[in-house]
Structure 1
C-alpha cells in the first residue's frame, strides 16, 4: 500500500509542478524499489496509458493530476509490471477510498482497472508506434531532425530503458572480469549483475563510479594530462570531475547547486580523488585562464529519457529558447577562461540541435580566436556513426550503426571540441 501511495503521489507531483521524479522521491524519503518501478514505468509508457484509460472512461480522463496518476499507476502495474491483477486493482481502489479528494473515483477505478486487466492481451497486441509514448511536440521534432524511422527507433529505445555503465579508475579489463560486465569500446564497463550498486565489489573501495558510457566520452575528448589545470564548469554530480581528477589533472569543479555539490564531494571522497570545489553560478566564476575547460551545460536532457522518462513530460518546447540562451552565455564565459593554446569541450545530454549542433556553429561564428578540433572517427570507440560531418560527437539512444556491444545502450549526447589560437 505504501509503495503504491508513494508512486501515484510522486507521479501526480511531477505532472503538476515539473519537478524531477528523482527529486520528488528523494524528498518523500521513499526507498521501496516497487514505488520507483511503478512511477518510472508509468512515465515510460504515459502516452499508451493515457490512450488505454481514455478509451475506457465514459467521460474521458480527468484533468486532475492525482486522479490520472492513480489510474495510470494502477494500469501500469497491470500492463507492464509483474504484479498480480488483484493487487493492482484492489490497492488502487483502496487508495482512492482513503483519499478524501479521490473518494469519488473509487467505483470508476475499480471498473476501469478490472477492464484493463481483462483486456490486457488485446491491449498489448495492438501495433502502435513507440512515438506514442513521447509528447507530440517531441515526437514531431525528432521526426523532423532525424527522420521518421530514426525517431521511431529513438522512442523504442526509450521504452526499453537504460543499462548501468561504470567508469573505472584503472584496470578496466580486470574489473570487467571481476564484475561480470562487458568492457565497451568506449572504455566504460556495462554491468549485467542486478545486485544493488553499493554491494558490488570495488564500490566501497572507490574503484569505480556509475556513469553512462556516452556521458563519459566528453571528458576523454578533453584528453586531460597530469598536472594540467582544468575547469569543470557546471560540474555536479561529478562523474566528469572524477574522470579528470583520476587522470591526474588539478581540477576546479564549479556548480551553483550546493546539494548537488555535496553529492560531488561525497563521490570524490569515496573514490579517493581530489578537486577544488566551488559553489558559484558558472557565469559569475572568475579565475586565471585554465589549460582546458569542460562545460557540461544545463539542457532539456532529452537524451536521458531512457533512464529518466519523466523528462519527456516535464519539459516544454518553450524551454528550448531559454536554455539555448543560457548555454550560449556559458559558452562565451567559458571561452574567456581558456588560456591561449588551451582546449574547450562543450557537451549536453540533449537530442535537440538548438542545444548542440547550432550552438557549435554559433560559437565558432562569435569566436574567431577559437578553432574546431575535429573528433576522429576512432577516437571515441564508436566509429564514424557517432561523429558528425563537422567533426562533433552525436550519440543517439537507438544505437544505429554502433558496435554490437553498445546496442541501444547510450544516452543521447552532443559534444564539440575547440582550441584557443595561440597569441
Structure 2
C-alpha cells in the first residue's frame, strides 16, 4: 500500500458508471494514500465535469470527440486547471502513461478493450471490471500482462472472491489448488424445467430475484450465460482448465466463490453484495482498507443453500464450457452470438430457448481461429454477429 510519500495514482475508466462511482467513494475515504488522477467517461460530459469538481484529477477524457469543447469549457467555467482530452486513443494513452500507476477498467463492452490492453502492456495494477477483455481477449490480455509484469486484480465479486481465497492469481496444482467453484444465484427461473421456459417473456427474464441489473445482464443471468462467461474469465485469470472449474447454484448470493485445496480444505469468501468491497481489495492489496461496507450478519440471513446447475434447462453454461475448451476465437464467437440473440429476445423477435440454440448454431458454423491479435478477435466477433442475425431472420416468427 502506498505511504503518504507515494500516493497511489488511479485512472478510473468509466468514471460516471456505477463501478466508477463506487471506486471514487473508496478513494475518497483514503485521501492520504490514493487519489483519482485520471477520470474517463463515454458521453456523459456533465457528470464527468461534476466528478472533476469533487475529485480534482489531473486529466479528464471523454470518449466522444464531439463533446471535447463542452468538456474543456465546462472545466474552465468551474475554475479547474484539469487537462481535457477526447477519444478512445486518448483514453488508451492515459491508461498507459505515467499519470497513473493503477487503472480501474470499468468501460462497458468492447469499447473498453483497447484501454484495458494498453494498461496491461504498460505494467499497471489493473482492477478489471470489463468482462469482454477476458471473454474476447483473455489469452491476449493475460499474455501481455505477464510480459509487462502487470498485476490483474478482478473486481467482479466471484473472481475477486477466488483471488482473496488464493491471496494471488496462482491456482496451480503446485500451489495446492484442487479446483475453484463459482457460485450463481440461479436467476429468476431456478428450478424450472426446459419445457417451462418455452413461453418465458422478456419482462419475466429481466425480473431478477436478487439484483436490479440492466436488461442484457438480467437475461444472461436468467439463461446462466453470465456464469458461463465467468467460467471463461476464471479460466484465463487463474490459468486453470475447465476440468478444475465448477459452478454451484447458491440463491442467497452471500458466498461469492470457493476454492478447494488438495489437503481437503475449502475456503469461501462471503460478504454483502457491494462493489466497494472488491474495489477496496484491488486498491489496497495486499493490505485491507476501509471500504464503507458493513460486515455480514449471518444470523439475520439464516440458511445457505447450494445445488447443481441444470444444464439441460440452461444449456448456455454448457456452451460456454465448450467454447472455453475450444479456445482461440471461440469465446469471442459465443459472446457475440449471445449479445445478438439476447437483443432479439428483448425485442420480442425470438423465444427464450432460441437464445442457446442460436449461440450453438453460430459456434458450430463459424470456424475458430487463433486469438493472436485484437483485430482477429474483433473480426470473429463481427462475423459471429452477422451469422446470428442471418439465422434470426430465417426464423418463421422473427
> TM exceeds 0.5?
no
Q: TM-score if structure 2 supplies the norm length?
A: 0.29
Choose 1 or 2 for highest CA Rg.
Answer: 1
